[in-house]
């Protein structure tokens, strides 16, 4: 099987990269471990798109044109919402995981991307001017060849397969994982602050585990359906290691225990919750941070906070630094004058390799910058740029042309 571009992962970055590359005329194959696309926004039930809109006062303005704007539009059409909602100092777009899956299917079909669900990359190596990638589906192997690769795996899986330069934040500082689950059967129920007070009371009385302290519920936008979200420590036994199956397994089980205990408690004590039940579990807990590529540019926390722009910016980072280093809720840090920093092309380009591009939350940046860049709205933007860059590389053209091509397609950001 031969393609121009192989994309690892069909989360928000991989979806954007694959669809963009296919629209540029490339033959694109995507490898995705689940049976659907969307990553954190579907498998992990993260139900808001963050990073789509610029910070600051006034009406919402999209930070990045092209694919991010198109996703916002398609999602609004699907949910029927009027637009983004203001949460404190930021705008977020409510999104529904079920709609996200369907929109991704449509985008793949319309653009002609070949998707291989249930597939994981097992091996990757240089092959002449291009690359060979071996994928596995239930023990059955498939060899694929391509001229360029995009790593949108979220965990920089390809960096590890290629033995390329990558880094990991020390365990104690890693952003804690989110655990999001669906709940139905809640009717005209206690919510918001009163519910928050009740949950604290439950923890105080020992009826609820301590982890429930961060639990909050938000309407999914569909009648009778809400999502519950908690942050877990990931250190249920030993240090948090988001790349270790044992650690992730304990995390999944703990998430289900805490969620079940919380819903049982609210059924007993909160008005309107008597008939509540957990209606769906996430396919996986929402890992926020793990392994990252080391690229030609490593975007720093200081650059994001200063709203730094570079000559070769391919996207803007419009989300504040959202630290989740503890389970005690997010700590937001806003850039100077709410100015969005630029993400230069060098963040997508591995330090020592040509023909490979990183996108999404595993691109090249430090721990602090990743606290801003990891969100889905920004992943759409970096994925889009990686798609354009990969097509140029596959054609043997200069990758620096990515900026010009993005501008031709969509105009300048802001």
Partner 1 sequence: MKEMPTAEEVVAMLREEGIADLEDGFAADGNLFEAGMDSMAVMQLIVVVEERFGAVIGPEDAGRENLETPEALARLIGRRTA
Q: For partner 1, which is the closer residue by CB, 123 or 204?
A: 204
Binding segment (CB under 8 A) for partner 1, from list 53-61, 73-81, 186-194, 255-263:
186-194
Stretch that binds partner 1, among 20-28, 62-70, 85-93, 244-252 (CB under 8 A): 85-93
Establish if 267 lies at the interface with partner 1 (CB under 8 A).
no
State both tokens at 312: 């070769």
Task: Give which of 118, 81, 87, 119 is closest to 99, Cα–Cα.
Answer: 81
According to the binding rule CB under 8 A, does residue 87 interact with partner 1?
A: yes
d(CA 134, CA 319): 36
- In the block, tokens 């009717």 appear at 187
* Least gap, CB of 192 to partner 1 (angstroms): 5
CA distances from 284 to 242, 254, 295 (A): 11, 12, 28
Site for partner 1 contains 195 (CB under 8 A): yes
Q: Which string of DSSP letters, residue by residue, matches 229-267?
A: EEE--S-SSSS--TT-HHHHHHHHHHHHHHHHHHHHHHH
C-beta atoms surrounding 323 within 10 Å: 19
State which H helix or E strand residue 395 sits in.
none
The number of C-alpha atoms within 13 Å of 126 and in the hemisphere containing its C-beta is 8
Binding pattern for the stretch 38-77 against partner 1, x by CB under 8 A and - elsewhere: ----------------------------------------
Q: Which one of residues 183, 199, 340, 403 is an interface residue with partner 1 (CB under 8 A)?
A: 199
Tell me: does residue 201 bind partner 1 (CB under 8 A).
Answer: yes
What's the min distance (Å) between Cβ of 60 and partner 1? 16
In the bound state with partner 1, the residue whose beta carbon lies nearer, of 201 and 336, is 201
Count of positions (residues) in the chain? 414
Q: Total residues contacting partner 1 (rule CB under 8 A)?
A: 25
- Which residues in 310-339 contact partner 1 (CB under 8 A)? 328-334
Nearer to partner 1, 201 or 352 (CB): 201
CB nearer partner 1, residue 272 or residue 330? 330
DSSP state letters, 112-128: T-EEETT-EEEEEEEET
Query: Could you list the residues that contact partner 1 (CB under 8 A)?
Result: 87-89, 192-201, 204, 213-216, 328-334
């Amino acid at each position: 099987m031969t393609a121009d571009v192989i994309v690892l992962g069909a989360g928000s970055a991989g979806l954007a990269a694959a669809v963009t590359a296919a629209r540029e005329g490339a033959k694109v194959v995507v490898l995705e471990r689940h049976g659907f696309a969307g990553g954190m926004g579907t498998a992990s039930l993260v139900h808001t798109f963050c990073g789509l809109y610029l910070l600051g006062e006034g009406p919402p303005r999209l930070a990045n044109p092209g694919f991010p704007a198109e996703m916002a539009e398609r999602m609004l059409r699907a949910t029927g919402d009027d637009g983004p909602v203001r949460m404190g100092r930021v705008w977020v777009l409510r999104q529904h995981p079920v709609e996200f899956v369907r929109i991704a299917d449509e985008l793949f079909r319309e653009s002609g991307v070949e998707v291989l669900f249930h597939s994981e990359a097992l091996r990757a190596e240089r092959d002449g001017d291009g690359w060979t990638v071996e994928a596995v589906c239930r023990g059955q192997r498939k060899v694929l060849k391509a001229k360029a690769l995009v790593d949108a795996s979220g965990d920089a899986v390809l960096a590890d397969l290629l033995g390329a330069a990558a880094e990991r934040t020390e365990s104690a500082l890693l952003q804690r994982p989110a655990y999001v689950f669906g709940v139905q059967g809640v009717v005209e129920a206690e919510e918001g602050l009163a519910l928050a007070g009740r949950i604290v009371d439950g923890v105080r009385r020992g009826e609820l585990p301590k982890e429930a302290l961060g639990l909050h519920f938000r309407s999914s936008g569909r009648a009778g359906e809400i999502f519950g979200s908690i942050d877990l420590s990931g250190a249920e036994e030993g240090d948090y290691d988001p790349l270790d199956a044992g650690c992730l397994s304990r995390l999944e089980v703990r998430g289900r225990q805490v969620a079940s205990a919380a819903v049982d408690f609210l059924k007993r004590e909160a008005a309107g919750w008597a008939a509540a039940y957990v209606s769906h579990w996430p396919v996986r807990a929402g890992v926020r941070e793990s392994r990252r590529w080391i690229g030609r540019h490593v975007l720093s926390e200081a650059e994001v906070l200063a709203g730094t722009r570079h000559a070769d910016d391919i996207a803007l980072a419009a989300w504040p630094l959202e630290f989740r280093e503890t389970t005690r809720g997010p700590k937001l840090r806003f850039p100077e004058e709410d100015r969005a920093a630029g993400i230069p092309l060098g963040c997508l380009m591995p330090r020592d390799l040509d023909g490979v591009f990183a996108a999404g939350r595993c691109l090249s940046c430090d721990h602090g910058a990743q606290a801003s860049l990891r969100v889905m709205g920004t992943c759409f933007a970096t994925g889009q740029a990686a798609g354009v860059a990969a097509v140029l590389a596959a054609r043997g053209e200069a990758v620096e042309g990515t900026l010009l091509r993005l501008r031709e397609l969509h105009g300048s950001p802001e």
